[in-house]
């Protein structure tokens, strides 16, 4: 089955992973900007990173027939440094018209601090000013519930925000309901230990239905599995779910959400030259 991984950090993965993804049916990936595992010291470091995201990765992916899309921001972890974050946010408009840029993301919270919230809200303002879609990172582990509720407080209080153009990612059993009930898209991240397993993702599909839900691998430099979406497809099949429901989650939903971005110039595999 053709599928789209809506959240994967390919800069941290090898070219061999692109080949494996292609073999598994991956036709497109979307890569949010994130923390590199260390704090960058200058805005020039982010210029280099944004160049890699908007120029280099798309070529590497294309070598395996995979379309690469991306999102730009200062990530939530480095957002603790507000002055550097503001410098980074000031250069983001230079890249928003590059091919394949889908919006601002992944913004959000990490430890739910005041500085992180300041930078999150300034990112939201930037997205509104530039009419970009938003991809949101929700915190890890014990911080997730509190941080998700805080993020929803901000978004739901702002009548300018089109909720159908916002994806709240890394939802789990205790955060999925308020996200969907508020009208946002929700992403489930399939991680070996810290987030959601394929079977638990299937459980949430069974409870909430497939509307406005996506699954992703969030494959990065840490423990993660870039082929987690095919694992989800297999789990859905083993539990007897119809192919059209699976396709809705792993292909049609990403197309529908990303299709609201002006730079989502997707070519289905069936019509590619």
Partner 1 sequence: MPISGDAREVLDQEMLRIRARLLELGAALDRVERAGPQAVDDPRWEQIRESLETLASERTARTERIQLLFSLPYDPQWQERFSSAL
Binding interface with partner 1 (CB under 8 A): 112, 114, 117, 141-146, 149-150, 153, 172-174, 200, 203, 205-207, 209-210, 239-241, 245
Question: Can you point out the beta strands (E) in the chain?
Answer: 3-5, 26-32, 67-72, 101-108, 133-137, 166-168, 185-189, 213-216
Q: Does residue 96 sit in helix, strand or coil? A: coil
Least separation in angstroms between residue 114's CB and partner 1 is 5
| CB closer to partner 1, 20 vs 146 | 146
Least separation in angstroms between residue 52's CB and partner 1 is 34
| CB closer to partner 1, 20 vs 118 | 118
Least separation in angstroms between residue 173's CB and partner 1 is 4
Least separation in angstroms between residue 146's CB and partner 1 is 5
Q: Does residue 14 sit in helix, strand or coil? A: coil
Contact between 150 and 109 (Cβ < 8 Å): yes
Least separation in angstroms between residue 207's CB and partner 1 is 8
**What is d(CA 164, CA 150) in angstroms, rounded to the nearest whole number?**
19
| CB closer to partner 1, 17 vs 143 | 143
| CB closer to partner 1, 55 vs 173 | 173
| CB closer to partner 1, 66 vs 155 | 155
Closest CA to 132 of 88, 71, 185: 71
Contact between 264 and 256 (Cβ < 8 Å): no
């Amino acid at each position: 089955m053709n599928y789209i991984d809506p959240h994967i950090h390919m800069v941290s993965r090898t070219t061999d992973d692109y080949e494996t993804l292609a073999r598994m049916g991956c036709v497109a990936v979307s890569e949010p900007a994130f923390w590199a595992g260390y704090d960058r010291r200058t805005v020039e470091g982010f210029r280099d990173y944004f160049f890699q995201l908007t120029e280099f990765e798309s070529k590497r992916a294309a070598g395996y027939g995979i379309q690469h899309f991306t999102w730009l921001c200062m990530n939530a972890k480095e957002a603790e440094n507000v002055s550097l974050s503001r410098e980074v946010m000031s250069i983001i408009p230079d890249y928003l018209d590059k091919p394949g840029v889908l919006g601002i993301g992944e913004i959000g919270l990490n430890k739910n601090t005041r500085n992180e919230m300041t930078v999150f809200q300034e990112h939201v303002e930037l997205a509104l000013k530039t009419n970009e879609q938003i991809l949101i990172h929700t915190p890890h582990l014990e911080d997730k519930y509190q941080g998700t509720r805080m993020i929803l407080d901000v978004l739901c209080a702002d009548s300018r925000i089109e909720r159908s153009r916002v994806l709240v990612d890394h939802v789990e059993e205790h955060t999925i309901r308020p996200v969907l009930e508020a009208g946002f898209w929700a992403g489930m991240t399939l991680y070996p230990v810290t987030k959601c397993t394929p079977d638990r993702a299937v459980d949430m599909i069974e409870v909430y239905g497939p509307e406005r839900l996506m699954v992703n691998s969030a494959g990065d430099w840490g423990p993660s599995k870039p082929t987690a979406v095919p694992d989800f497809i297999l789990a859905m099949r083993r539990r007897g779910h119809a192919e059209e429901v699976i396709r809705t989650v792993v292909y049609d939903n990403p197309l529908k959400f990303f299709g609201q971005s002006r730079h989502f110039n997707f070519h289905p595999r069936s019509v590619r030259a």
